[in-house]
Structure 1
């Protein structure tokens, strides 16, 4: 494991320590080692921004037990938060009261436990970016257009199975698995 320790002073002359790891840390012992190292420098009242590798119940409880604050940033369909996102989907995205104009997103905050074993509630900030959604939708449409073009060019020919194609299309294959197998329609 390789890590880099940088120290910097902010405008208020508060000392900050930033530890950047080259790879994700998903092991409780590695997290404990890092936190002991930071404690060894004498830092008090510190918080952490956690990356993917820290998303374990044991790590979160360890940080709670030692009084460390933290922020976790996850994509909406990460297993950790997908149920929460789906539960609130459609309840705030188009509501002006949830608009955060300076960032051009909509958002809401939900207070609940992350894990069933949590001893306290946590705050979850859920954001929706209409522009990002439109761009992602356009990418999907372009991908489908390319697949349609490929299927049209290969109608009547044998084509290899592809989960990328089967995600969007149910293919009709003549004599599937036989020597004269070919694409009929999509």
Structure 2
């Protein structure tokens, strides 16, 4: 029989204690040397036309007397239409059964694009018939002038040559901004969901304790 029933005996049953690790078994990370705290006012805000946010922002720093403190900072918040559309559609605190303004706006755009596509298809078929049979003699000069004006607008929509690079950069920046706002809105929505889940866990834990 094995005289030692423990297959993995501790070679050092009495380790030397470490006062620092014993006093603080879970050391906290290093503090932020330059925090920027903000304070949000609580209360009812009935005035929907209020343009100022109830937020006060402070900046940490050291003054002339080498004293660390916080100073009030003024800030300006700039938003764009893309941010409003993305945040309104994605970051919904509570789901609703109604139709949002964004959905109405997008449905109108879809209807307009479908109508434009059908009309462009009619013009394309008309030009193809004239190109296939130029001697038909049924060409409308006024209609052809209108088609020529529309064709002259195509370089503005899809430029080429020296104007292609700036146009592509501008479109790329707009797309990047839109994706960033959509990601921030999704993160905001996820934070709200996690907050609700944490509240449920806290309520369940309190009920078990009592």
Do the two structures share a fold, i.e. TM-score over 0.5? no
More helix by share: 2
The TM-score with structure 2 as length reference comes to 0.19
The TM-score with structure 1 as length reference comes to 0.20
Larger Rg: 2
